[in-house]
Amino acid sequence: MKVAVVGTGYVGLVTGTCLADYGNDVFCVDVMKDKIENLKKGIIPIFEPGLEEMVLENYNAGRLRFTTDIKEALYKSDICFIAVGTPMGEDGSADLQYVLAVAKSIGKCMNHHTYVVDKSTVPVGTAKKVRETIQAELDERKSDLTFDVISNPEFLKEGTAVEDCSRPDRIVIGTDNKDAEKVMRELYLPLVKDKEAFICMDIASAEMTKYTANAMLATKISFMNEISNICEKVGADVNKVRLGIGSDHRIGFSFIYPGCGYGGSCFPKDVQALIKTSSDFGYETRILNAVEAVNAEQKMVIVNKIVERFGEDLTGMTFGVWGLAFKPKTDDMRMAPAITIINEITKRGAKVKAYDPKAETEARECYLRDNDSVEYCESKYSTLIDSDAMILVTEWKEFRAPDFYEIRERLKNPIIFDGRNQYDEERLTEMGFEYYQIGVRRE
């Protein structure tokens, strides 16, 4: 099939590349000329395992093309995905300016019936706005061209996005047109063999599904973090509690790991957008408000433990920080707990020596660029030289089984603050470490 994907960010580039990999002819469109030229050269703007190789393979095969010309892409495509960003506005709402700008361009440039697919994460009612915007442009042209607007939310996880897109556990389609449903079934048939995994519904329900999924996962994280805080107060061990409840098949182990809060491009933005949408309709989201509040406080838990151990004034102290990205297998630092932790301890006078396998550039150039108290290191162990303590923030694979003798040798003091509860407390205690976890009271 012939497909245009407008937006070459995380969702657009992965979606376009995976569709091309299954034999479709795909145009990826972006207004940023430098990004398009770099993509043609094989320079990928994001880190995602397996993506670079797949882009190069399909680009060289001629199935994947990159352009700034949306008219060319629309003329040669029957399906057009809108996959641009929907950043969080000051009031928590999803900013739809880029989505509607694409819709306007579609209305101006389309020359045959087009299936317009909302792939961006958008609030309920966006498909209607997209339809109205396209129709207004067609009316301006005095054109009788027809089109369909379809909701097709993405469920990609950073770090496994290529796998998620190529082998999705479900495809959600929102449409009020049987022909549109048929076209989307044909497009996704190579990716979804199980008919039950192709779920068709009305547009509003499809738009709501994405927000509900992310809000549910965020709720599980904040719930478990709240339980961890209770455990610490009453003297229980949240790691043992997690095992006790996770073995119940009704609960399971997914998203019940205590930690220093969630971040990224999805959970914070989508929870806030759902809160704002609900408020616009006169409903107060008491649970989601609590989810957000718990998460904000959770990013301070490690900071509070450091202050409790060393005092409010950290002047003259240095901390080795392992991990900057909000999760492993990505360079994404949007709303990452590391930002809060590093800024809070440096605000109190500390220096930070940080290492992350992929996110250093993001930290240097964007998220921590104004923090002169951060030094970036080439390896995890080099962060520990002359450091007063180590802080684990992101659970990268290479951090899971470190050489604790090496850590003890390099640190001034054998002290670890673990924001992801990765290590064996009994072993570290036997080795003479002071080990601080989430949800475990240290006697």
- 200 a catalytic residue: no
Maximum distance among all Cα pairs of the chain, rounded to whole angstroms:
79
- How many Cα neighbours within 13 Å face the side chain of 325? 20
Are residues 404 and 429 in contact, defined by beta-carbon separation less than 8 angstroms?
no
Of 18, 266, 366, 377, which residue is the catalytic one? 266
Helix (H, G, I), strand (E, B) or coil at 418: strand
Q: Which helix (H) or strand (E) holds 354?
A: strand 351-355
Are residues 30 and 10 in contact, defined by beta-carbon separation less than 8 angstroms?
no
Helices and strands per DSSP (H, E), number in the chain? 17, 14
DSSP letter string, 45-91: SS--TTHHHHHHHHHHTTSEEEES-HHHHHHT-SEEEE----PBPTT
The phi, psi pair for 375, rounded to 5°, reads: -110, 135
Separation between Cα atoms, residue 280 and residue 272, nearest integer Å: 12
Instruction: Give residue 423's identity as a one-letter amino acid code.
Output: Y
Q: Which residues are catalytic?
A: 266
